[in-house]
Amino acid sequence: MLIKSPKSHTLREAHITPETAYVSRRRVLAGLGAGIGSLLLARQSHGLDLLGGKSRQAAPRKPLTFTAHKPAPELILTPEPKVITHNNFYEFGTGKTDPAENSQHLKTEPWTLRVEGEVEKPATVDVWKLMNEIGLEERIYRMRCVEAWSMVIPWVGFELGKFLQRFAPTSRARYVAFETLYDPEQMPGQRNRYVGGGVDYPYVEGLRMDEAMHPLTILSVGLYGKTLPPQNGAPIRLVVPWKYGFKGIKSIVKIKLVERMPPTSWNKLAPQEYGFYANVNPAVDHPRWSQASERFIGPGGLFSVKRQPTLPFNGYGEEVAGLYSGMNLKKFY
């Protein structure tokens, strides 16, 4: 029997008032008292680095106006304090709390994004102006890191495809190449190979044109109703929910439409471990670990991590599997 369920992104009609929902979630966390959640919460709201013992002001985040969406009913949000303290952003160190600790002084304003290459109208965009003028919407997506942990994050952003149309892609555009800021003065991982985990900076990523134009693919400028904190890729980052998290390149300064498949950072570093496609696939193990299941970082204390099966295309197969019909996904991992 086939039970037809609506596509997950069509389920998300305007429904909840995000701020109310998030505030009550915070209260739940605070109520845990001794849990790490409240420790991280205290650290976030008072700008104090209780874990490191140093006083550090968290970079301010502005509230955003956007169309709210109701998540697919099975999705449980990862609490905001965890989303903003458990990160991968090797430019600021390879430890999970390094980005939150080392990125607060990143200068994100002003920020320009260059769009060029195979487009009829190349341009440099002021990202903060763009945020005010473009229609923002919330997208609640699963996020699956290749390291086998996962979250559910309420992003705020807009469809990459709609944005790219503004620049009039030419018929030669077959791939999209993305680049993170290169600024060793601000990014300790770019000054020191050990701190930066051996990545060849700037961090670069890429998508095939049809993946970039897919309505699930967004450029995110916020999470939990406010602008992104630096550690999550302020002021603008990519989110491709059916791919491993490393495709979600942060703090983007350049987008170039190109004819040939562009190089990507993790593929350059270890091509046998990280492919260009990087579609979440429980049937293709990482050479050093299984991808069949994942540790979901959800509500509750630090150690209440739930082991759950990993879904093909991270649960978005109904929407995106067609992009890869006829492709051997074991070969094109």
Ligand X SMILES: Nc1nc2c(c(=O)[nH]1)N[C@H]1C(S)=C(S)[C@@H](COP(=O)(O)O)O[C@H]1N2
Q: Is 78 annotated as a binding residue?
A: no
Per-residue tokens: 205: 């990523």
Q: How far is the CB of 274 from ligand X (least distance, A)?
A: 9
Q: How far is the CB of 298 from ligand X (least distance, A)?
A: 14
Q: Is 310 annotated as a binding residue?
A: no
- Residue 190: partners with Cβ closer than 8 Å, 6 or more residues away: 91, 182, 183, 184, 196, 201, 202
Q: Is the dihedral of CA 202, 252, 261, 144 positive or negative?
A: positive
Q: Does 190 bind ligand X (CB under 6 A)?
A: no
Instruction: Pick between residue 11 and residue 305 the one whose CB is nearest to ligand X.
Output: 305
Contact 51, 102 (CB under 8 A): no
- What separation in angstroms does the CA of 210 have from each of 42, 174, 262? 43, 8, 15
d(CA 227, CA 98): 20
Secondary structure (3-state) at 125? strand
d(CA 41, CA 35): 10
Cis peptide leading into residue 110 (ω within 30°): yes
Residue 249, binding choice from ligand X, Mo ion, none, Cβ under 5 to 8 Å by partner class: ligand X
Torsion angles phi and psi, residue 314, rounded to 5: 55, 25
Q: How far is the CB of 34 from ligand X (least distance, A)?
A: 25
Q: Is 193 annotated as a binding residue?
A: no
The footprint of ligand X on residues 105-164 (CB under 6 A) is 143, 145
Q: Does 232 bind ligand X (CB under 6 A)?
A: yes
Q: Is 248 annotated as a binding residue?
A: yes
Q: Which residue is nearest to ligand X (CB)?
A: 245
Please pick, from the candidates 128, 203, 277, 313, the single residue that binds ligand X as defined by CB under 6 A.
203
Contact 140, 154 (CB under 8 A): yes
Q: Is 249 annotated as a binding residue?
A: yes
Q: Which stretch binds ligand X (CB under 6 A): 42-50, 82-90, 271-279, 321-329?
A: 82-90
Q: How far is the CB of 276 from ligand X (least distance, A)?
A: 15
Q: Which residues bind Mo ion (CB under 5 A)?
A: 88, 145-146, 245-246
Residue 250, binding choice from ligand X, Mo ion, none, Cβ under 5 to 8 Å by partner class: ligand X
Q: Is 157 annotated as a binding residue?
A: no
The residues that touch ligand X, with contacts defined as CB under 6 A, are: 87-91, 143, 145, 180, 203, 232-233, 245-246, 248-250
